[in-house]
Amino acid sequence: MADWCRTATGLDGFCGMSARIELHCHLDGSVRVPTIAQLAEEQGVSLPGPVRDLAVAPARPLSLPAYISRIDVALSVMQTGGALRRTAHELVEDWARDGVVYGEARFAPQLHQRRGLTLPQILDAVSEGLAEGAAATGVRTGLILCCLRPDPVTTSIRVAELAAENAHRVSGLDLAGDEAIPAAPHAAAFRLAHEAGLPVTVHAGETQGPDSVRQALDELGARRIGHGVRAVHDDALVDRLAREAVTLETCPTSNLQTGAVPSLAAHPARRLMARGVPVTVSTDARTVSGTTLGDELAVLRRELGWTGADDRSAQLSAAAAAFLPADRRERLLRRLGSQSFS
């Protein structure tokens, strides 16, 4: 994408190019390798090896904790307001190059306090970076705050309170982290989100089975499920996801790397779509998985026989599930509905 619209006029003016949406993208997993290296040098952070080796996961399957550990090198340099603004801004630039017209970034603000930043300061910096990127590219953005399964419940409540107090610039609340740790203890934090009118997405059904998805729905009130691919093993759950229009945020390359699927050819995205489940496609962590949204769609075409009709379905599902006010969501749906997918 060589020519961005340098305007904030909205989705309808976005260069007339084919539009895509990304709903599941972790900021700390999507920091450019050269940026990590430069920030480390500027901050005097000593790294234990080459940045690419530390930050990018191998193509072979890993455990989920091993995959998550690849963000550690980025986190080590994302502890200042300037670094947070820069990395958020650059993510929006990367979305623009990838044909994304609306992207939702998610991050756990509690992981960025090593140098004394407060949670409000951290949120300010990331929000400013996203806004600067949006002004420069025309890409519209949303921001999701993540609670973490290993954290004390009190920490999750603080994050939920931060989200609720900033509902004008926070799009929703998420629960991330090792799925072997139950989600239910964090229910109080998610009640705060619901009371503030914030929608909820929860990582589930990635490395754990269908029961983790049920817990996300029943205990935390999730409207979307991060990944959710293991739901395919339970027909009753698949029927429920279709009936209740619960959207799955699948990330094919990441799903392979975390062991959520045995191979890309076995990815259940098309099977779930055929059953009526709203399925979307995202990158999860652009740097860790070494991918773009364009790459993910190319992988699906090569491995699953993904078609233009499948792409259209996934993009419309993403627009319908976007954590946006109703009027902006309708604009996004109209924008996508008017274009062709090949």
Burial class (CB in 10 A: 0-12, 13-18, 19+), 294: middle
Phi/psi at 30 (5° precision): -130, 20
* Structure tokens that stand for 28 in this block: 């700390």
30 membership: H or E segment, kind and range: none
In the residue annotation, 22 being an active-site residue is answered as no
Across the beta sheet with 20-26, the strand order is 20-26, 100-107, 140-148, 172-176, 200-204, 224-227, 247-250, 279-281
Strand locations in the chain, DSSP E? 20-26, 100-107, 140-148, 172-176, 200-204, 224-227, 247-250, 279-281
| Angle formed by the axes of helices 308-321 and 326-337, nearest 10° | 170
Phi/psi at 202 (5° precision): -135, 135
Only one residue has tokens 């090593």, namely 114
Residue 290: which of 121, 125, 53, 86 has the closest Cα?
53
3-state secondary structure at position 138? coil
Give the length of the chain: 342
Are the CB atoms for 196 and 236 separated by under 8 Å?
Answer: no
Please tell me which residue in 206, 219, 244, 303 is annotated as part of the active site.
206
Q: How is residue 18 annotated by DSSP? A: P
3-state secondary structure at position 284? strand
Phi/psi at 93 (5° precision): -60, -40
* Structure tokens that stand for 280 in this block: 């979307």
- Residues acting as catalytic residues: 206
